[in-house]
């Protein structure tokens, strides 16, 4: 039996007249990498704040690792590492000093804390910069430090609220790899993002939230399968591909544009035949682009709206 690590039951949270969360029920299993995807104002940060006990819900209950979440409970705080959306770092302190401050909030024995700080700095490649003030750090370095600051008490659960905002692709990749390794080591992770590709790449299961309600929930693959849209294939026009136009039409509906053809395969199982055929005709793969259905398309289908960045 897979244990449920986070159990959210019928949570409603209002700010004055705004209903930020509307009877949300959600279970996250132990060691799951769960993606919470939604546009601005969907309620992601509110849910995070409720999980850590920074906020009280109007109704509903949350349990984490068997314990009920109550406001400002230290027991709950010990189980959770929270990486907030807005950076929570002291600019005038060094990386090392920042981590010491965070570590001291959790009564970690000095020696153990020292060791963990060192290990974590290495893990995100900031060890060489540990004596530099945070104000000299790039956006990506700050984000990485923000993440490890939440891990010093070795929590079972990690909540990451848009941890890659303002991060260049290289740092983003480093963050992905780091989070993936934490998950493999056993941490349960909830990761909020606006970005489809991030959720697709990282998460085994995804919940899409909009206007305070979970509007879709399932494994990443299952959600993609729900899409009515088929894969589409773009074939760039050149003498070879134009000559083979009839050949492409065997595989589905072919639309002709000025610079390319757009193929909608009638059957996705034909795709392997399609690619085998390309090779036979001497058509290079680089002239052909396969577009998988994205979560962006799913979101559009579910809400009639685009997901904004």
Ligand X SMILES: Nc1ncnc2c1ncn2[C@@H]1O[C@H](COP(=O)(O)OP(=O)(O)OP(=O)(O)O)[C@@H](O)[C@H]1O
Q: In whole angstroms, what is the distance from residue 17 CA to residue 50 CA? A: 18
When CB distances are held under 5 to 8 angstroms depending on the partner's kind, the choice from ligand X, Mg ion, none that residue 20 binds is: ligand X
For 254, the 3-state DSSP assignment is strand
Distances in Å between the Cα of 112 and the Cα atoms of 151, 241, 267 are 13, 64, 58
For the bound state, the minimum distance from the C-beta of residue 18 to ligand X, rounded and expressed in Å, comes to 5
- Please pick, from the candidates 4, 9, 12, 85, the single residue that binds ligand X as defined by CB under 6 A: 85
For the bound state, the minimum distance from the C-beta of residue 15 to ligand X, rounded and expressed in Å, comes to 3
- Cβ-closest residue to Mg ion? 45
114 in Cβ contact with 135 (< 8 Å)? no
Nearer to ligand X, 48 or 113 (CB): 48
Nearer to ligand X, 45 or 150 (CB): 45
129 in Cβ contact with 137 (< 8 Å)? yes
**18 near ligand X, judged by CB under 6 A:** yes
Q: In whole angstroms, what is the distance from residue 58 CA to residue 109 CA? A: 37
Nearer to Mg ion, 38 or 81 (CB): 38
79 in Cβ contact with 66 (< 8 Å)? no
Helix and strand totals (H; E) in the chain: 12, 14
Q: How would you classify the pairing of strands 67-68 and 59-64?
A: antiparallel
For the bound state, the minimum distance from the C-beta of residue 18 to Mg ion, rounded and expressed in Å, comes to 14
From 44-52, 68-76, 148-156, 265-273, give the range in contact with Mg ion by CB under 5 A: 44-52
**207 near ligand X, judged by CB under 6 A:** no
Q: Which is nearest to 62 in space by CA: 2, 1, 13?
A: 13
**49 near Mg ion, judged by CB under 5 A:** no
Q: In whole angstroms, what is the distance from residue 3 CA to residue 236 CA? A: 49
**193 near Mg ion, judged by CB under 5 A:** no
For the bound state, the minimum distance from the C-beta of residue 49 to Mg ion, rounded and expressed in Å, comes to 9
- Please pick, from the candidates 40, 170, 185, 286, the single residue that binds ligand X as defined by CB under 6 A: 40
Nearer to ligand X, 66 or 166 (CB): 166
Residues in contact with Mg ion by CB under 5 A are 44-45, 85
């Amino acid at each position: 039996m897979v244990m449920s690590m986070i159990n959210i039951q019928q949570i409603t949270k209002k700010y004055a007249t705004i209903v930020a969360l509307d009877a949300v029920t959600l279970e996250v299993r132990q060691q799951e990498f769960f993606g919470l995807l939604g546009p601005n104002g969907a309620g992601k940060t509110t849910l995070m704040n409720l999980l850590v006990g920074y906020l009280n819900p109007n109704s509903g209950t949350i349990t984490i690792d068997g314990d009920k979440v109550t406001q400002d409970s230290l027991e709950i705080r010990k189980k959770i590492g929270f990486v907030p959306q807005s950076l929570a770092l002291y600019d005038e302190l060094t990386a090392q000093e920042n981590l010491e401050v965070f570590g001291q909030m959790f009564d970690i024995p000095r020696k153990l804390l020292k060791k963990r700080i060192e290990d974590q700095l290495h893990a995100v490649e900031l060890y060489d910069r540990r004596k530099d003030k945070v104000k000299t750090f790039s956006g990506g370095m700050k984000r990485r430090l923000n993440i490890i600051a939440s891990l010093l008490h070795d929590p079972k659960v990690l909540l990451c609220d848009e941890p890659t905002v303002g991060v260049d692709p290289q740092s983003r990749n480093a963050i992905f790899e780091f989070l993936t390794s934490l998950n493999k080591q056993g941490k349960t992770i909830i990761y909020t993002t606006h970005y489809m590709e991030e959720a697709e790449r990282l998460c085994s299961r995804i919940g899409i939230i909009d206007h305070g309600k979970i509007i879709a929930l399932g494994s990443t693959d299952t959600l993609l399968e729900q899409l009515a849209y088929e894969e589409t294939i773009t074939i760039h026009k050149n003498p070879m591909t134009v000559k083979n136009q009839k050949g492409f039409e065997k595989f589905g509906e072919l639309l002709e544009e000025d610079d390319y053809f757009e193929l909608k395969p009638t059957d996705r199982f034909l795709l392997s035949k399609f690619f085998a055929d390309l090779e036979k005709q001497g058509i290079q793969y680089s002239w052909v682009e396969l577009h998988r259905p994205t979560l962006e398309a799913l979101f559009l289908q579910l809400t009639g709206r685009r997901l904004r960045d």
